[in-house]
Chain A
Amino acid sequence: DTEVTQTPKHLVMGMTNKKSLKCEQHMGHRAMYWYKQKAKKPPELMFVYSYEKLSINESVPSRFSPECPNSSLLNLHLHALQPEDSALYLCASSHLIQGTTAKNIQYFGAGTRLSVL
């Protein structure tokens, strides 16, 4: 099973709303990632969680707030977003192995397509 599940698939929100994106995996992966992807652009890394702790924040605005309640779940809380935040938000997970190893393959969820009005 290499499945990463993201909900919801689509989300429309106003600039004053608060919403959350959810991501779940049961592959025993201890690294989980949030990416943002605009049309015809590659995924841009936002956050990395390693062993349920935030290890990388790529200077993401505070209106995006990640949370990792346990090793299987990853949330992204959204508040006061701007229209330019409209994008596909992808969650991914991988093993955490030091050095070079094929087990660090990242598996992606299907994404949440977010529209901010």
Chain B
Amino acid sequence: GQNIDQPTEMTATEGAIVQINCTYQTSGFNGLFWYQQHAGEAPTFLSYNVLDGLEEKGRFSSFLSRSKGYSYLLLKELQMKDSASYLCAVFNEDTGGFKTIFGAGTRLFVKA
């Protein structure tokens, strides 16, 4: 089966650091995406991990451990505009083509 788990909601303070965890069990794996989605808008690409380790991109970093089926997204120096849903998604090749399976998303609330 396909299963991607992430916390439903998190709250953090402006200027702080927050870590959003994601665990997955999927029939295949070619990579893991993190997307940001503000309410009523399209998902925006943040990061893509293919190999184990940490990928850093400005205030955002993403980590992957394929053996543990685990990833996290780290957001530093939080800003109010970071309040959004963060979607963990696994990308794999399935019969017929490529598929992306999304987790339910983590709603992050940044407070002053």
Contacts and interface: CB of A to CB of B under 8 A. Distances in A.
Contact of B104 (A41, A99, A100): A41
B49 to A, nearest CB: 9
Interface string B70-93: 000000000000000001010101
A81 interface: no
Given A90-B42, A108-B43, A96 B30 contact: no
A48 B105 contact: no
B45 to A, nearest CB: 6
B48 A105 contact: yes
B96 A105 contact: no
Nearest to A31: B98
A106 B33 CA distance: 9
A43 B102 contact: yes
Majority secondary structure, B binding face: strand
Contact-residue size bin, chain A (C-beta under 8 Å from the other chain):
20 to 34
A103 to B, nearest CB: 9
19 contacts: A31-B98, A42-B102, A45-B99, A48-B97, A50-B96, A56-B97, A90-B42, A94-B98, A100-B51, A101-B50, A104-B48, A104-B91, A104-B98, A105-B45, A106-B91, A107-B45, A110-B42, A111-B41, A113-B40
Given A48-B98, A96-B98, A100-B51, 12 more contacts: A41-B105, A45-B100, A56-B94, A56-B99, A88-B40, A94-B98, A98-B93, A100-B30, A104-B30, A106-B100, A108-B42, A111-B41
Interface of A: 31, 33, 40-45, 48, 50, 55-56, 88, 90, 94, 96, 98-102, 104-111, 113
